[in-house]
Structure 1
Amino acid sequence: MGINPFKQKQVRSQYIPTSNYLPFKVSNGFAIPNETIDAESALTNSDIYSVTYRIASDVASCDLQTDNPVLKNLYKRPSRLINGYGYWQTTLINLILNGNAFSVIHRDPKGNPAWLENIPLNQVQIKLLDYSIDLLYIINYQDERGTQEVQSKDMLHFRLMPFAGSSANQYTGISPLQSLVQEINIQNYSNKLTLGTLKHAITPNILLKSPAGVLSDEVKEKLRTEFENFNSGDNSGRIAVMDQSLEMQSIQINANVADFLSNVNISQTQIAKAFNIDVTYLDSEKGSQQSNIEQIRSLYADSLQSYMKPVESELEMKLNCDAHLDVNSAIDIDNQQFIDNISKLATGTTPVIPPELALQKLKDKGVI
């Protein structure tokens, strides 16, 4: 029997999880549930909701600057179902809360990008082909289209902080929420303790004492009902006239309860640090103390670059053209910063640009 020298080529591939969250972790040889945060639960925290909404809305408001008319139209009208602002806001929210966001590029018969479709994280599975020649995205559309494989050239995969902890993890991103796992779990335990504290702290605030000795339940109920009727309805707020045999006392709720409640929330500083923004955008009191508003705005614009660059870079790679998101179109709504910059360039002892050019720039911007 002859031996075939041409062995069949084996194609190896591996599946990459679309999230760095693992449901279990191994500790001392035991598999125990891992502490994770899902996006919907995270949004119940008002500070996380605020920072997520703010970042996603501002990046979605940025105008795209490109010389490619196809990309410009695709960015402005990406979906057949929702407007461009809503589409990119959804994309950024998924990117922020999951570390990954997926948009399928649907093409026309000529192969040009025609429209985009957001795909939820739980409907995507990534396959890394042998020799890392390509990534395949297996999508379960959960409709009549069923399950389909999409090549990387037809998938916009936006990532935050790809981490090469293993050879496969470098192809997926990590959400800022992962750095807040311990803090949010602590808050959950604190909330349970708070409810228990409130349950025992909220007691009746009026106490009636009778020197008549031990009263039966029927007599107590009658006194309580008569007192409530006397001090409610039309009698509410009127002067109370007490029988000499009764004594009324007012009960104060322990003042420590308020102090306890003020310390159970996640620090706004920790959340701002995790999402890479200045804490003044979460704490209005600190923001009002800042005198240099322009500096705060500049710091925030720098922070937004962390979320804009993944979008720009992916659009450039998959659509083979330059793409730049103009952050000023999102944070300089009244054009005040633009006016100040033009004024500084056109005035002074050594102006950089002549007044005629400054005037033209203001007209082009729509200021005048």
Structure 2
Amino acid sequence: MGLLSWLGINKPRDAPSLPDIRDNVRDSGNLFVFGMTHSGERVDERTAMQIVTVYACVRLLSNTIAGLPLHLYRYTGAGEDKERATDHPLYKILYRQPNPEMSSFSFWEALMCHLLLWGNAYAQIVRDGKNEILGLYPLLPENMEIDRDPKSGDLFYTYHAYTDEKPGEHDKDIIFQRDEILHIPGLGFNGLVGFSPIAMMKNALGAAMAVERYGSAFFKNGAQPAGVLEHPGVLKNPEKIRENWTRVYGGSRNAHRIAVLEEGMQYKPISLPPEDSQFLSTREFDVEEICRMFQVPPHLVQDLKRSTFNNIEHQGIAFVQYSLMPWIIRIEKGIIKDLLLEEEQDVYFPKFNVDGLMRGDYQSRMNAYAIGVGNGFMSPNDVRRLENMDLIPHDLGGDDYYLNGSYNKLQDAGAAYDLDEPEQTDTEEQDEPDEESTDDRFLRKRRRKKVRNGGM
């Protein structure tokens, strides 16, 4: 960990001298171990990334969340009013640059990759003397262990780091206290440590790797099923004949090459063709199975068999709601828990902006904006901000809110008309201007009666 020494902060410390430290928080992650699967393939986080669909799902989720703007807000006044806390030291770290070596995109992409493969994401918190955060540095989950001090009950983290600070020293355990680590756990049994999705799904991934290996061997052998060479006599050196056959007719480049057999030798295939073994169907099922594992719609990894122009937009919105939002909430809650001081947690909060992912087609957006402006909960500038347009000056009404004046409360329906107007007495009728004839008074009363009857 030359980085820690370079920073001069958070130097490695010795582990607490406790004789009976128990690994009572690591069972969540270690119940499902790696190793050989039922298919005979060996699966771990790195070999799983060699499966195309796993790589596509991890890249999609990591890039999407890393590309979302992440801002720090503070509550202002009463209610839910908020504003960006640009003056807080954590704002720049979350939004722009967590450390001098990484952009915010690279940092959150790495942490999401760790979450999806290992089920946990860790980052070292570097603070100054005022307890303000100076930077965040990602740590590999496979090198991290979590233990609990049985006396105090506090968690501490043991990081098995590679270091070359001293000659002949290759590995060293670095102890971090709870306030020195940003830990975002995935799905787990105890809520403290997430288990690895790859370890949980190792048999399904092993089957996918076996199918891919079978396909590679199939094309390596010239896209022809394996078989036997029969000779009517006794061969003195069968190994040489097999090697010559493989050299001349093996491999995809030699597919469909015409073979010349001598001395009555015959070639007879003995394996089933790929279509009989449902090779292609198995590969398609593996794509669906892995997408189900990461909760990713297949069309987002280029599997468009069940996607149409009518449902593709709704599938994209469902992807945000059911695939991204759980991860986003985990990250936001982890930031509040580990990066904000206790007295700040009721004032500040982080928020990913997913509005861009929820946008529909142009016509749907314009209809929604018209409803928002017409009902008074959006201003013209609110719309223009969402569409990345220049704002209308304030003196021209860009920040004003409008409301359709024809809306009334249900209890005030008909209040514009005085339906209970008392009948005029004879004296009042005598006081009316002489120019209003009897016919005029009749028409006025008829209109009043029509209004009273709802226009009928």
1:238-281 CA distance string (max 9 Å, x none): xxxxxxxxxxxxxxxx9943664413425222112111222232
Shift in Å, 1:358: 3.5
- Distance, in Å, in 2 between the alignment partners of 1:177 and 1:324 is 29
Counterpart check, 1:351 vs 2:374: yes
1:137-181 CA distance string (max 9 Å, x none): 1223322395321111121111111213xxxxx421023323432
- Distance, in Å, in 1 between the alignment partners of 2:152 and 2:370 is 53
Q: Given that residues 186 and 194 in structure 2 are in contact (C-alpha distance below 8 angstroms), is that contact kept between their aligned partners in structure 1?
A: yes
The residue that corresponds to 2:351 in the other structure is 324
| Aligned ranges 1:1-368 → 2 under 5 Å | 12-15=20-23, 16-17=25-26, 19-20=29-30, 21-22=32-33, 37-67=43-73, 68=85, 69-75=88-94, 76-130=96-150, 133-143=153-163, 144=165, 146-164=172-190, 170-200=191-221, 202=223, 256-257=273-274, 260-265=278-283, 267-286=286-305, 288-302=307-321, 303-320=323-340, 321-329=348-356, 331=357, 340-341=364-365, 343-347=367-371, 351-353=374-376, 357-365=378-386, 366-368=388-390
The residue that corresponds to 1:233 in the other structure is none
TM-score normalised to structure 2 length: 0.57
- Distance, in Å, in 2 between the alignment partners of 1:121 and 1:295 is 35
Could you list the runs of 4 or more consecutive aligned residues of structure 1 that deviate by over 6 angstroms after TM superposition? none
**Paired residues, number:** 294
Larger Rg: 2
TM-score normalised to structure 1 length: 0.69
Moved more, 71-80 or 182-191: 182-191
Shift in Å, 1:111: 1.5
Q: Given that residues 268 and 283 in structure 1 are in contact (C-alpha distance below 8 angstroms), is that contact kept between their aligned partners in structure 2?
A: no
Identity, % of aligned pairs?
17
Q: 1:342 to 1:163 in 2, by over 3 A?
A: farther
Letter in 2 for 1:182: N
Instruction: List runs of 5+ in structure 1 lacking aligned partners.
Output: 1-9, 26-31, 165-169, 204-253
Q: Given that residues 48 and 54 in structure 2 are in contact (C-alpha distance below 8 angstroms), is that contact kept between their aligned partners in structure 1?
A: yes
Shift in Å, 1:55: 0.3
Q: 1:37 to 1:171 in 2, by over 3 A?
A: farther
Q: Secondary structure at the match of 1:269?
A: helix
Q: Secondary structure at the match of 1:162?
A: coil
- Distance, in Å, in 2 between the alignment partners of 1:367 and 1:175 is 44
Q: 1:132 to 1:183 in 2, by over 3 A?
A: farther
Shift in Å, 1:102: 0.6
Q: 1:191 to 1:295 in 2, by over 3 A?
A: closer
Shift in Å, 1:291: 0.7
1:33-75 CA distance string (max 9 Å, x none): x987322111111111111000000111111132242222111
Instruction: List runs of 5+ in structure 2 lacking aligned partners.
Output: 1-17, 74-84, 167-171, 225-270, 341-347, 391-456
- Distance, in Å, in 2 between the alignment partners of 1:141 and 1:286 is 46
Q: 1:301 to 1:192 in 2, by over 3 A?
A: closer
Q: What is the aligned-residue RMSD (CA, Å)?
A: 3.5
- Distance, in Å, in 1 between the alignment partners of 2:98 and 2:44 is 27
Shift in Å, 1:319: 2.2
The residue that corresponds to 1:248 in the other structure is none
Q: 1:297 to 1:196 in 2, by over 3 A?
A: closer
Moved more, 299-308 or 172-181: 172-181
1:280-329 CA distance string (max 9 Å, x none): 32344236425133311210111101211221111001123411212234
- Distance, in Å, in 2 between the alignment partners of 1:176 and 1:116 is 25
Higher relative contact order (CA 8 A, sep 6+): 1
The residue that corresponds to 1:206 in the other structure is none
